[in-house]
Structure 1
Amino acid sequence: MATARTENLASVVVGLNKQNGQMRGQLKPASPQSGPLAPGSQPGKAPSAPLKDGSGPTEGGGIRFGDDWKRSLQLPPKDTRMKTSDVTATKGNEFEDYCLKRELLMGIFEMGWEKPSPIQEESIPIALSGRDILARAKNGTGKSGAYLIPLLERIDLKKDYIQAMVMVPTRELALQVSQISIQVSKHLGGVKVMATTGGTNLRDDIMRLDETVHVVIATPGRILDLIKKGVAKVDRLQMMVMDEADKLLSQDFVVLIEDIISFLPKNRQILLYSATFPISVQKFMAKHLQKPYEINLMDELTLKGITQYYAYVTERQKVHCLNTLFSRLQINQSIIFCNSTQRVELLAKKITQLGYSCFYIHAKMMQEYRNRVFHDFRNGLCRNLVSTDLFTRGIDIQAVNVVINFDFPKNAETYLHRIGRSGRFGHLGLAINLITSEDRFNLKAIEDQLVTDIKPIPGTIDKSLYVAEFHSTNPDAEAEEAETEADRKATEPLES
């Protein structure tokens, strides 16, 4: 990243304060890590707005009968990266086959969604018919579009009450889904979307609900609070979606979900989407869903485009190993997972001292700082993010091509969601696991449960496995000197 070097690590500026998760230290000169960020974006800058093609009217007057409406679309740059069969093995349907409103189709195409993915092909027509759905599909294969497209199609703008609700387990996912909803519906002429999550000002939500809201994207605790206060009226709601349904039906949330459903009308439609479904889902389905249409696109659990390796290390060698990976891999953006909030902050500090720009995020941070980190990392302002499992569910950042498990997870479900942060929508990704002697049994158990092969890391990793387009670089003498200094510092163990 093109950032001025600092000569003294003691002068590192830590943004707002230590707890905001944004740590920027001395950056190394160009090295294998400083490859491209997201297509069309520049390091340190938010991605540019889609370009107008200039071939049709783009504002004022609307689209008249007989106009070629597609010519007026502001399409993003075409994504020419290779995609795996996780998203390309379709029946050949088009979005226009589903008789969607033209204005909704405009939003879909301007998102860069060219054709439905397999989960969207299976889900959209069934959801439009009003039937309950239980859908199981891999991370990063288009589940959000699978439920948002029929949800937005069925919104009646003449009705000024809440008609649809999407439940999600984390604040970051709520913000992401609401942003997608707003973008896809921008031509529909007035769909009002609201995100409401814990950790934000309740008074603001109450004032917002005093106005017209058609779609609510919410975490369970906050929306239940608003329902019980009589502020969020859901007695006429027609569709409820549960994204990451396995988490929402875990012990953390299931009592809240049951309480929320008790306020809904009996003829509502319920859609469940997840990559994994535990036994608890069966009990919930039998109680609350009416003859649900079941979709299972999980012939195998892990994404086809993700290559998985492990490096056998001691705890003291982990930081050194991580530094070596940074210097040798071509990382667009990476997410590095730790098993505790304390280790997240310690590792982020260590990475900064090694000379790499780094953000961190965990559930104990103030909400405004979490929002800032999520927004800035998503927009490419930083290449590396250290996180707890807060960031494992649903978060879709296309530029992430490398996931590193600095601490190996305890179970297969967490592992599956973590590595699914790379290789989004059929693209290539790399997952590297740092394994200690204590982790070796978990490694074997997870391989067996997921029926996947996690291989020993080779001396050189083929860039074609995780980089769509790459250019070889020859680090200059200054870069080599910086790497030598970083190697020396990396030998110090991370404090536990």
Structure 2
Amino acid sequence: MAAARTENPGPVMMNLTKSNGQLRGPPKAASLSGSSAASVPTGRAPGLKPSGGTQEGPGIKFGDDWKKSLHLPPKDNRIKTSDVTATKGNEFEDYCLKRELLMGIFEMGWEKPSPIQEESIPIALSGRDILARAKNGTGKSGAYLIPLLERIDLKKDYIQAVVMVPTRELALQVSQISIQISKHLGGVKVMATTGGTNLRDDIMRLDETVHVVIATPGRVLDLIKKGVAKVDKVQTMVMDEADKLLSQDFMVLIGDIISFLPKNRQILLYSATFPISVQKFMAKYLQKPYEINLMEELTLKGITQYYAYVTERQKVHCLNTLFSRLQINQSIIFCNSTQRVELLAKKITQLGYSCFYIHAKMMQEYRNRVFHDFRNGLCRNLVCTDLFTRGIDIQAVNVVINFDFPKNAETYLHRIGRSGRFGHFGLAINLITSDDRFNLKAIEDQLVTDIKPIPGTIDKSLYVAEFHCSKPDCEEDEEKEDFRRLPINP
């Protein structure tokens, strides 16, 4: 995506309702060209009636060069970090996958497997349990979806795989990816079901054939106990963002769900961090799991981290300065409460910038719409709570701003991981008050990272994918952003 500078055109007519999360600035700043995301219907999870899952293959005959018929996205020539490039040199064809599945993989723009995919795919295909730890944005979804879809038997009309995720937005995203990469398989039925959507729709959908269910724990357990979702023949259960699913919020629900699965099921756990509770879970539910750890260091290599030392009253002014000087594709701005999310989103819109907001207290249909529209590039800035820290993959996001600094290292890691997806460069800027200085030091120590004071200039190459300078003397005014007027302490 070509980067475009965020403009501040002056007074704005706001289109604001209290609950829908869409605070629109001027039309000029409200759209992004080149953003790619599949359409998600408002108010229900994609995959309830999967349009992609019933498409037939393109009729490739034996001996044809099937790759020539693929509709490939533009080649991604951006520089990537070793988080995704330090591979063994394997190809997707090396895993003896169905040609139709390979077609979907390549049409997603996935050219070669990432390190987590190299390690995970052959083991998962063998049916063995997996405990995998890898960084945010390095291809974990593909690591489990590819073998899961390869093992689906279309001759069987029952649920064969369940993917558990902690948030509704992540369920939408994973189901969309599943539908896209399975679209040539000729009939894989994918269903997403989450709390906050119509239970009757889910019951009616499950009356038809469903092969893969992607769900939040509470909703799928409800459907299981009602006898609607029959999981007694499920061969694979995936836990994405497993550290969250093994927290107190979900642990009991997960145990109840597993009790309905057959004894010979396969369980795959994927996360960037794992709590101590994972050991107890492994001992109880996993059978000689294959352990993958690609986390020699916690923070992402492609993300440059800065802090600006401000007072609470200076935060909005500082944010305004960042907007006017950074070259933002899309930004995600984190607050620590839903009330502050709505207040900040309103203030940003009043300053003249396009802005959406999202938090857990919004109605599900509005959350779906905000998530869908932001992914499609209809707005440049999104203000949110930690609801949006789990697995959300929006390639255009190149700047993350912690308007409120998080309380712990795990939250910080997941927040900044929304930038720098799949080894690309990104920028994380933290607005630090005097109350945050001890948390800042503690997080630096725990993550073994260095969060530096924001400098007078920021090199665009640290977070902008492509930059072309048309003037021979533009190094200072084009390649770097001047932050000398930011309210920061030396």
Q: TM-score, normalised by structure 1?
A: 0.88
Answer yes or no: is the 8 Å Cα contact 1:395–1:421 preserved in 2.
yes
Q: 2:152 aligns with which of 149, 155, 165?
A: 155
**Quick check: 1:233 aligned with 2:230?**
yes
| Structure 2 match to 1:484 | none
Q: In the TM superposition, what is the alpha-carbon distance from 1:18 to its structure 2 partner?
A: 2.3
Answer yes or no: is the 8 Å Cα contact 1:429–1:467 preserved in 2.
yes
Q: TM-score, normalised by structure 2?
A: 0.89
Distance 1:287 1:378 in 2: 39
Q: In the TM superposition, what is the alpha-carbon distance from 1:213 to its structure 2 partner?
A: 0.1
Cα separation, partners in 2 of 1:381 and 1:268, compared to 1, 3 Å = same
Tell me which amino acid in the other structure corresponds to 2:238: V
Q: In the TM superposition, what is the alpha-carbon distance from 1:5 to its structure 2 partner?
A: 9.9
Identical-residue share of aligned pairs (%): 89
| Structure 2 match to 1:129 | 126
| Structure 1 match to 2:143 | 146
| Structure 2 match to 1:55 | none
Answer yes or no: is the 8 Å Cα contact 2:375–2:394 preserved in 1.
yes
**Alignment of structure 1 residues 156-235 onto 2, 5 Å:** 156-235=153-232
Matched residue of 2:305: which SS? strand
* Residues 366-404 of structure 1 deviation map (CA, whole Å, 9 limit, x = unaligned): 000000000000000000000000000000000000000
Answer yes or no: is the 8 Å Cα contact 2:409–2:446 preserved in 1.
yes
Answer yes or no: is the 8 Å Cα contact 1:333–1:402 preserved in 2.
yes
| Structure 1 match to 2:24 | 24
* Residues 62-83 of structure 1 deviation map (CA, whole Å, 9 limit, x = unaligned): 0100000000000000011000
| Structure 1 match to 2:437 | 440
Q: 2:388 aligns with which of 386, 391, 400?
A: 391
Answer yes or no: is the 8 Å Cα contact 2:312–2:433 preserved in 1.
yes
| Structure 1 match to 2:313 | 316
Tell me which amino acid in the other structure corresponds to 1:404: I
**Quick check: 1:13 aligned with 2:10?**
no
Tell me which amino acid in the other structure corresponds to 1:235: D
| Structure 1 match to 2:481 | none
Tell me which amino acid in the other structure corresponds to 2:179: I
**Quick check: 1:267 aligned with 2:264?**
yes
| Structure 2 match to 1:467 | 464
Cα separation, partners in 2 of 1:7 and 1:93, compared to 1, 3 Å = closer
| Structure 2 match to 1:253 | 250
| Structure 2 match to 1:347 | 344
Tell me which amino acid in the other structure corresponds to 1:23: L
Q: In the TM superposition, what is the alpha-carbon distance from 1:25 to its structure 2 partner?
A: 2.6
For structure 2, the 5+ residue unaligned runs are 41-54, 472-485
Alignment length (residue pairs)? 455
Answer yes or no: is the 8 Å Cα contact 2:57–2:185 preserved in 1.
no
**Quick check: 1:71 aligned with 2:62?**
no
Answer yes or no: is the 8 Å Cα contact 1:5–1:26 preserved in 2.
no
Tell me which amino acid in the other structure corresponds to 1:19: S
Distance 1:91 1:410 in 2: 38
Q: 2:452 aligns with which of 450, 455, 476?
A: 455
**Alignment of structure 1 residues 49-88 onto 2, 5 Å:** 62-88=59-85
| Structure 2 match to 1:487 | none
Q: In the TM superposition, what is the alpha-carbon distance from 1:459 to its structure 2 partner?
A: 1.1
Matched residue of 1:461: which SS? strand
| Structure 1 match to 2:477 | none
* Residues 421-450 of structure 1 deviation map (CA, whole Å, 9 limit, x = unaligned): 000000000000000000000000000000
Matched residue of 2:356: which SS? strand
**Quick check: 1:115 aligned with 2:112?**
yes
Cα separation, partners in 2 of 1:333 and 1:194, compared to 1, 3 Å = same
Answer yes or no: is the 8 Å Cα contact 2:174–2:214 preserved in 1.
yes
Cα separation, partners in 2 of 1:120 and 1:5, compared to 1, 3 Å = closer
Matched residue of 1:20: which SS? coil
Answer yes or no: is the 8 Å Cα contact 1:26–1:353 preserved in 2.
no
Answer yes or no: is the 8 Å Cα contact 2:166–2:244 preserved in 1.
yes
* Residues 214-266 of structure 1 deviation map (CA, whole Å, 9 limit, x = unaligned): 00000000000000000000000000000000000000000000000000000
Tell me which amino acid in the other structure corresponds to 2:19: Q
Distance 1:408 1:5 in 2: 25
Distance 2:270 2:343 in 1: 35
| Structure 1 match to 2:397 | 400
Instruction: Kindly report structure 1 stretches of 4+ aligned residues shifted beyond 2 Å.
Output: 1-9, 58-61, 470-474
**Quick check: 1:418 aligned with 2:415?**
yes
**Quick check: 1:288 aligned with 2:285?**
yes
* Residues 103-138 of structure 1 deviation map (CA, whole Å, 9 limit, x = unaligned): 000000000000000000000000000000000000
Answer yes or no: is the 8 Å Cα contact 2:237–2:265 preserved in 1.
yes
Answer yes or no: is the 8 Å Cα contact 1:309–1:433 preserved in 2.
yes
Cα separation, partners in 2 of 1:436 and 1:129, compared to 1, 3 Å = same
Q: In the TM superposition, what is the alpha-carbon distance from 1:95 to its structure 2 partner?
A: 0.2
Distance 2:10 2:446 in 1: 49
**Quick check: 1:299 aligned with 2:296?**
yes
How well do the aligned residues superpose, as a CA RMSD in angstroms?
Answer: 2.4
Matched residue of 1:316: which SS? helix
Distance 2:328 2:217 in 1: 35
Tell me which amino acid in the other structure corresponds to 1:21: G
* Residues 314-369 of structure 1 deviation map (CA, whole Å, 9 limit, x = unaligned): 00000000000001100000000000000000000000000000000000000000
Tell me which amino acid in the other structure corresponds to 1:304: K
For structure 1, the 5+ residue unaligned runs are 47-57, 475-489, 492-496
Matched residue of 1:19: which SS? coil
Q: In the TM superposition, what is the alpha-carbon distance from 1:41 to its structure 2 partner?
A: 3.8
Distance 2:79 2:145 in 1: 25
